[in-house]
Chain A
């Protein structure tokens, strides 16, 4: 890759700040996710009436706030650019909790990917009864080999994120594997496992 291309990607990453990869399925598709990290464990089901948006319910077990609640979440595709070799997406997202009208979140996230490179950003504002905070996240990934359709696909990823509770950037590697309708991401930071599992149907 040329220095010019690399600098463009780095600039893109700096300028923009993904909650989760592929937050919307195909029209009529459903997605089931499990996510666990040092802050929370969640189970999230969403349905996509159209490729433009998804709506779903998430059971959240917040380890930090020691609370359990349910979020009603939605994601809308604001913009998508398809080219022969790449796809770029920009989403807005939001959710409200059954716990309280003061417990909600909203944000923006986007990604750009080719068959070799994946980049993404996210900026989410979270409001709770006791504390308001925001989360920033950037991801950069490289596929060590280019798999065909139905093959096992592997991505070596680097994630850096910061929330205004801990107020420091944490950067850690993780691996993303997917085959067919199944995707799993596994990473580790500060002796905590960061696991994300997804199935589409």
Chain B
């Protein structure tokens, strides 16, 4: 009986621990998203909530960016996204190295297209998450 219960206990602990890292963490207001490649993307829930406050029926692209260390250098990202008429809102977070892009729901989002926008601006998009509102 003891030998049967111990593995079950370990399994249960793992499930609880795993779900706590994937779900909203109310202490630091961070949402951790598990990516396909095994890496984690931390989303600041407060900033995300402020971004989506006035939005509805949109798709949000959350992009992790490398090399976005300077405001002056990141201006092109915002300008290039706004050239796309389906983009409703863009938010650049230099501190977190993240860009949030809200597309109208009719937009078929192409992750490679998003990554290319960063490439032509001289930065590197390492991960893109799509969420629907």
Contacts and interface: CB of A to CB of B under 8 A. Distances in A.
B71 A87 contact: no
Contact of B67 (A77, A82, A180, A183): A82
B122 A114 contact: no
A164 interface: no
B76 A27 contact: yes
Contacts of B94: 115, 148-149
B34 interface: no
Nearest to B64: A84
What 4 pairs between A and B have smallest CB-CB spacing?
A: A26-B76, A82-B67, A51-B122, A27-B120
B109 interface: no
Given A51-B120, A82-B123, A82-B124, A25 B70 contact: no
A146 interface: yes
A189 B26 CA distance: 54
| Chain B contact residues, majority secondary structure | mixed
Contact of B72 (A51, A80, A146, A183): A183
B75 interface: yes
Contact of A26 (B91, B92, B121): B121
A87 B76 contact: no
B21 interface: no
Nearest to B123: A82
A66 interface: no
Contacts of B95: 115, 146, 148
A154 to B, nearest CB: 11
B66 A26 contact: no
A153 interface: yes
Contact of B120 (A26, A80, A82, A149): A26
A178 interface: yes
Nearest to B119: A51
Contacts of B71: 147, 149-151, 153, 178-179
A83 interface: yes
Given A50-B120, A51-B120, A51-B122, A80 B75 contact: no
A200 B69 contact: no
A192 interface: no
A84 B97 contact: yes
Interface in A54-91: 77, 80-87
Contacts of B129: none
Contacts of B92: 149
B75 A87 contact: no
Interface in B41-73: 66-67, 69-73
B131 interface: no
A175 B96 CA distance: 26
Contact of A80 (B74, B91, B122): B122
Given A80-B67, A82-B67, A85-B69, A25 B76 contact: yes
Contact of B75 (A27, A51, A82, A180): A180
Given A51-B120, A115-B94, A200-B75, A26 B80 contact: yes
Nearest to B120: A27
Interface string B73-117: 111110110000000000111110100000000000000000000
